[in-house]
Structure 1
């Protein structure tokens, strides 16, 4: 017959001063308390075996042997939920920037440039710019030079003619 049986007690299986204080059926972990008050847990599914520390004991006040401000070497760093959610935050940031770019692109292409009505001085006549017009095509259509058209309309940008805008055509 083997040395171990179902009838072994915690006193025989656990180190001195260690006692079982709980069991979590969801995670199948046993919880134990040490003589100094620290809490330990077993591996999921194991009643005995290797234990890991869950919390350390409360500091003893007036005890000069242990400084409460000095961390134990066995304490594991505690990570918060924010650390676990950081990749998800990055994903939402990328999606947000992508949507912002899409809305900017759509909104930027649908805006129309509305030119203010122009009053033409002297013998010049107003001309309403149509789709596909260019300064060269307008000057050829009205038999004037390109320089005369630019001189009559100071600040005219021939690369950005606003459809529906008005320019002045110099008279002959």
Structure 2
């Protein structure tokens, strides 16, 4: 909790002729009156800071020169701002974050971690077979009625755990 100083009072913080006349606990706004009698309100939750005009000029209490209308409950001629107008300051921030994320995904997606496969040339006693999705070494060997050891012997360095879809292997003829 901060310490109190002589600059924490309204006389030090408010412009000359401005005085605080009320507080609404529901909206957490402070109400002020300037020397001309114009009513000003603070932003919700702020005691000081930027003020906005609440309504037309009304004389201070005790002055009997005001008219019979109630300016505190009258509607303002000022048009209300839309939520789009209020969110405009965040547009640049969201735009920058979005562009940064697009760049990151582009860099990640543009780099490939797959190893290039050299074209396979099969011997005369074997035929090429193009690997399809879902193929395994055992399924290929069973489908061509050859032992798995023959398939592995014909394709030196074949890693059955990493069969590349679209790649080619050699199937020995029986």
Scaled by the length of structure 1, the TM-score of the pair is: 0.38
Compare CA radii of gyration and give the structure with the larger one: 1
Q: Which has the higher contact order (CA 8 A, sep 6+)?
A: 1
Using structure 2 for the length normalisation, give the TM-score. Answer: 0.38
Is the helix fraction higher in 1 or 2?
A: 2
